[in-house]
Structure 1
């Protein structure tokens, strides 16, 4: 009987120690998970990258390999780096089911650097994930919800970027470019090619040599500087648009707003015919020529029709209630 009592005591003591160790383990944050993996790939591989939260830096290099280094999210359940022919997957796997408290924890999030061949096509998807991509000479596509996107030295056929509340910041990118943000700001410096910008409540700030541009804002402001414009369409709902352009002799520029103001600055030797319509009382200020603004006999409508130089290019501007200003 004494033997059984001693055995029971020892068993209970072991259970208490095990339980204490288990509770202590729960109380201590999980250690960061390091990653350092390489994979040989083709120089023009299609690389798909999936990361839920944290920071991801993608760098183009002269080597034909994908090399991932850094730390994985504490919540990560697995890391995948594999290739199937020219298709490469880089994925930080996370739990399938996560409640709201998942986003509140002060834990190690993914922080990795991915080196890829310069000629690779890049596709990135994230949620609360910041992304930085540089030195890639092929297509780049990236989607994130609340993360920021930084692009530098891209020279591919297409660059498609979408974020909801994050900012987009680019420098020296070239190609057919589409940058879209909902509440985030877009800043583009030194781009070239064909460009599309879209923002809802964020601002757009552009300094580009692109010849073809489409830019749309809803309530944010648009400030854009362009050289040698062939075809540009700039529009706003309630935000203001300031455009400083060098318009090609056979170029076409269209600007419109609902209640936002339009401010157009053209080069002094511009050759353009200009037509402006204000439908509900917006003021038109013409400092390009001596022609006067015509006001409707009845109602708030006013318009301007004028010509600078030979008039070979075309400028069309319209607003519902915003003010319009034209000058050199």
Structure 2
């Protein structure tokens, strides 16, 4: 009977307190002489914010499954790392989540590596490089060089400025109020951007693209089978280049575009001009077609090619 009582107490204690309580951490290091911060968290969530203090601080919960938690200075860099055991093919479980906040001066470079870890970044003014596998990424008010990528997670950004690269495979990208040079890439996810960037590259395979742009010097958009819906003001001497296999383009110019248009379809694609009265010319033999016309002084260039898609250009 006593054995059953003891067993019941053990079971009850396990149910009440669990076996994977998190470790509380609150640590800081002075930032004098430090130029970069590196964070690695395989699973959980990391929040990164800039502050005005001359120190780097970490505050939060580290899973007790961690072999160790590293918070140290190495040369001019501070390293923050959650080290988990190698579980091989068993992968990672939710009980291994580490959730913590990192605060650092905005002038420091920052890089992050994760697997199933979400990350949120705000207010960094130097290089920011982020890479995770299945985590979501939220980036706000970053500047300088920005390189953010995930495999199956989503990327949400706002107020980025500088040289910007956002990439995902099956997740979505939603970008707002970016400025500078913008490079967006996806495979099956959707891309949505509302940007004042002057130079842009937007590439997708099967996902859709939706953009609203202002005062563009150069825009290159490509898709295989996705739908592209966009509006832009194309500057004089600017370039718009579009290409697809079976995907459709519906492009609206919000200014009185001054451009030379060269558009072609190779295998039954449609070319539709709603800016002037010029019509596509179809080949005498075969399904190909071409559309050539000029608006205003023709200083800018609009080039578009498709195999079997539909391309529409118009003025709003």
What's the TM-score once normalised by structure 1's chain length?
Answer: 0.90
Tell me if 1:183 matches 2:173.
no
Q: Against the structure 1 CA distance between its residues 310 and 81, is the aligned structure 2 distance closer, same or farther, given a 3 Å change threshold?
A: same
- Equivalent pair of 2:21/2:63 in contact (CA under 8 Å): no
Match of 1:296 in 2: 283
Tell me if 1:125 matches 2:113.
yes
For 2:230 and 2:203, the matched residues in 1 are separated by: 13
For 2:133 and 2:247, the matched residues in 1 are separated by: 28
The structural deviation recorded for 1:96 is 2.8
For 1:190 and 1:233, the matched residues in 2 are separated by: 19
The structural deviation recorded for 1:206 is 0.6
For 1:142 and 1:59, the matched residues in 2 are separated by: 14
**Corresponding residue SS for 1:107:** helix
Q: In the TM superposition, what whole-angstrom CA distance separates every residue of 1:8-64 from its partner, at most 9, and x where no partner exists?
A: xxxxx9x99999988887773222211111111137621110001001000011112
Match of 1:88 in 2: 78
Q: How does 1:86-125 map to 2 (within 5 A)?
A: 86-100=76-90, 102-103=92-93, 106-107=94-95, 109-125=97-113
**Corresponding residue SS for 2:160:** strand
Q: Against the structure 1 CA distance between its residues 42 and 225, is the aligned structure 2 distance closer, same or farther, given a 3 Å change threshold?
A: farther
Tell me if 1:52 matches 2:42.
yes
Match of 1:257 in 2: 244
**Corresponding residue SS for 1:51:** strand
Match of 1:135 in 2: 123
For 1:64 and 1:248, the matched residues in 2 are separated by: 44
Size of the alignment, in residue pairs? 312
- Alignment root-mean-square deviation, CA: 2.1
Unaligned runs of 5+ in 2: none
For 1:43 and 1:188, the matched residues in 2 are separated by: 34
Match of 2:56 in 1: 66
The structural deviation recorded for 1:243 is 2.2
For 2:5 and 2:64, the matched residues in 1 are separated by: 26
Unaligned runs of 5+ in 1: 1-12
Q: How does 1:212-223 map to 2 (within 5 A)?
A: 212-223=199-210
